[in-house]
Amino acid sequence: MSGYVGILVSDPWLQNQFTQVELRSLKTHFMSMRRENGKLTLGDLPSKMSRLKVVGESLTEDEREAFIQDLYQNMQDEVDFELFLRVYSKLQAHATDRRGSGAKSSSAFLKAATTTLLHTISESEKASYVEHINNYLKEDEFLKKYLPIDPSTNNLFEIAKDGVLLCKLINVAVPGTIDERAINTKRLLNPWERNENHTLCLNSAKAIGCTVVNIGTQDFIEGRRHLVLGVISQIIKIQLLADLNLKKTPQLVELVEDSKDVEELMSLPPEKILLRWMNFQLKKANYKKIVTNFSSDVKDAEAYAHLLNVLAPEHVDSSVFTVKNPLERAKLVLQHADRMGCKRYLTAKDIVEGSPNLNLAFVAHIFQHRNGLSTQTKQISFLETSPEDTQVSREEKAFRFWINSFGNSTYIDNVFEDLRNGWVLLETLDKVSPGIVNWKLANKPPIKMPFKKVENCNQVVKLGKQLKFSLVNVAGNDIVQGNKKLILAYLWQLMRYNILQLLKNLRFRSNGKEITDADILEWANTKVRNTGSKSQINSFKDRSLSDGIFFLDLLSAVQPRAVNWSLVTRGVTDEEKKMNATYIISIARKLGCSIFLLPEDITEVNQKMILTLTASIMHWFLNQPVEERPSTTSDSETGSQLDTTSNSTMDDSGSESSTECGSI
């Protein structure tokens, strides 16, 4: 009976949403509902789901019905178990969001709904994003036959159904994220290949900072417009804001008075830096107001008129300062932008209506095209980063995306700043170990009194010790003060605990025993050895891992069709090693592994990241129905590997860097 539920749940997204215990419980509810009527339709769910926890308690029947009708066109469609799980998961996320982020989750898989994904779509936004796609992907060999897309139609959502467009768009936003050799690009894709593309897309979107909580591959396949557009808007936003940091644009130091303010500037999210830049330029024009948002503060188009006059005075139409009608002024602003070579992301109507997404895109594109900053970079010591600083930056970014993948109440832009009040850490702890947080003792933001932040962080440290983290001489105040070393050490241990718990929770495989680093290492070596390969490793810091061959052997062992060996290099030169590493990461994400490491983490053999990658592959494999596994593996073999217990664990202080496997 161990593989009973797994056989019925083939969607990797669903497999990752629920524990086996939850699936069995939900299966019982589903069968009971279906027996009552002989069959179960979407129209039956609003009333019958009243008996389910959270969904029944937090939403009325009318609310459940309205929500489901918004997702599905035909309420008479018959519901199978996978569709039931999909609806249930989305309703729970909706109910949790409605109930408030402070409420304790009733189960491990609960995700808060992301506020960026609305159930209605903006035609203006769709047209703008279509124009962006047409512009940036027009030369792509595979997409040439589909582009340009007509923005007045819904062709965008049809083209997105095979997953290729979204994968390509991610690579435009953050080049090199996806190894395009891993994308299935046949003219006609079968359902499995199409699902692989969407799985690759979703895991890669998370890895660049998108919030894709409660979105599954089926949503793309069925062309759910608000969800597809929500993901596209996030990808494009990441692309447009990519230069809003001191590494890409060191000239941004002009925005601060002296080097003391540099650290504060570096900790700001890109949107805040963009606003700061805009006000810096407006000050030159003696514009008296301060722009604090990309909606109400720019609706009259006056700020835009002054901004463009500062940046490109040669193209100004002086009537823009005398016209009284905001719509007419907005039209003149856009004409000015056109003359200076900036592609439009919005219409005059979008400006006066205060569309925040499109106004942000418009200003970001102006910054990319002409930022008006000095070409002479100030000689400030912070611009020369040491290798250690680079590593810390990589770790911070990886942990940040991992935490954001849980869909907490607040999207964090910097772990050293945004975790200091302890709230998001408590939310993450509660999702990693449901029920562990005492919310009665927690202080919800906004928190004005410093001691309230310390109270939150004291509970964070207390819970870490409860989970057996190494926290010698660590106090809550260390987190409040933003101690980088201690925060990174805590986050690594939290992530590692999450990974090992996910593996332990596969009780029907591990017999409930603790999984250790040594077990993961032995599992990987055994899987590779059983394929006949001589490739073996001694530890997660084995230098032989740098060429990527072991991981390619492992991926091929768990899914023989995953690796196209004709694309694999010998891994001798640095370039060959990086090509293999990029391919490994994309193949793992394509299978369904939620990982956040970079190719450099493989080529440099980053011990912690290597562990997370191996554990993610192991978790994915053990989640697969026994019948679908390669014939070289037997239940007894897998069981014997996981029955092996070991007291040896990786020394958390002995590794120099960290990343995560995320919500595997």
pLDDT computed for residue 652 by the predictor: 40
Q: Is residue 552 part of a domain?
A: yes
Would residue 309 count as lying in a domain? yes
pLDDT of residue 22: 73
Same domain assignment for residues 576 and 489: no
Mean local confidence (pLDDT), 90-101: 64
pLDDT surpasses 50 at 114: no
- 522 and 594 in a single domain? The answer is yes
Confidence of residue 290 (pLDDT cuts 50, 70, 90): very high
Residue 151 φ then ψ, to 5°: -65, -20
* Residue 79 is assigned to a structural domain of this protein: yes
Q: How many CB atoms lie within 10 A of CB 406?
A: 20
Identity of residue 254: E
Lowest mean pLDDT among 44-58, 99-113, 344-358: 99-113
Between 261 and 419, the more confident residue is: 419
Rounded to whole angstroms, the Cα distance separating 261 from 257 reads 7
Residues 334 and 405 in one domain: no
Please give the DSSP secondary-structure letter assigned to residue 139.
T
Please classify residue 566 by burial: count the beta carbons closer than 10 Å to its beta carbon, then call 0-12 exposed, 13-18 middle and 19+ buried: exposed
Residues 393 and 364 reside in one and the same domain: no
Average pLDDT over residues 114-136: 77
Residue-level pLDDT at 644? 35
Give the C-alpha distances (Å, rounded to integers) separating 419 from 32, 269, 396, 430, 566.
44, 14, 12, 15, 45
Asked, for residue 558, whether it belongs to a domain, the answer is yes
Average pLDDT on 212-241 reads 90
**How high is the pLDDT of residue 376?**
63
pLDDT at 15: 66
Domain range for 86 is 12-99
Cα separations in angstroms, 102 against 97, 415, 462: 10, 20, 19
Do 263 and 236 lie in one domain? The reply is no
Residues 556 and 466 in one domain: no
Q: Which two tokens stand for residue 254?
A: 């002009």
For the cut 80, the answer to whether the pLDDT of residue 53 exceeds it is no
pLDDT at 352 (0 to 100)? 94
Please check the confidence at residue 105 and state whether its pLDDT lies above 60: no
CATH of the domain at 320: 1.10.418.10
Which one has a higher pLDDT value, 663 or 174? 174
Tell which wins on pLDDT, 392 or 116: 392
Q: 101-110, 366-375, 548-557 — which is least confidently predicted?
A: 101-110
Task: Judge whether 595 lies within some domain.
Answer: yes
**Based on the structure, what is the number of domains in the chain?**
5
Query: What are residue 281's DSSP bridge partners?
Result: none
Q: Please compute the mean of the pLDDT values over residues 279-293 and round it to a whole number.
A: 94
Shared domain for 487 and 452, answered yes or no, is yes
Q: At residue 119, does pLDDT exceed 80?
A: no
- Final residue in a domain of this structure, among 480, 506, 532: 506
**Structure letter (DSSP) for residue 232:** H
User: Is 664 part of any domain?
Assistant: no
> Would you say residue 157 lies in a domain?
yes
Stretch 193-221: mean pLDDT, rounded? 91
Band of the pLDDT at 113, cuts 50, 70, 90?
very low
Domain closes at, from 99, 133, 164: 99
Picking from 262-276, 471-485, 634-648, which range would have the lowest pLDDT averaged per residue?
A: 634-648
Please check the confidence at residue 464 and state whether its pLDDT lies above 90: yes
Within its chain, how far is the Cα of 476 from the centroid?
A: 28
For residues 469-494, average pLDDT = 94
Please tell me the least confidently modeled range out of 10-19, 289-298, 402-411.
Answer: 10-19
pTM of the model: 0.79
CA 201 to each of CA 131, 188, 194: distance values in angstroms, whole numbers, following the listed order? 21, 18, 11
Please check whether residues 66 and 155 belong to one and the same domain: no
pLDDT of residue 377 exceeding 60, the answer is no
- Closest to 427 in 3D by CA, of 447, 450, 405, 395: 405
Q: Residue range 340-356: average pLDDT?
A: 89
Amino acid at site 661: C
Tell which wins on pLDDT, 631 or 520.
520
Residue 363, domain member (yes or no): yes
End position of a domain, from candidates 37, 64, 99: 99
What's the full length of the chain, in residues? 664
Residues 357 and 275 in one domain: yes
For the segment 515-566, what is each residue's pLDDT rounded down to a tens digit?
Answer: 899 999 999 999 999 999 999 999 999 999 999 999 999 999 999 999 999 9
Instruction: Looking at the structure, tell me whether residues 356 and 282 fall in a common domain.
Output: yes
Give 550 or 409, the one with higher predicted confidence: 550
Q: Mark whether 237 and 255 lie in a shared domain.
A: no
User: Is the domain of 261 the same as that of 228?
Assistant: no
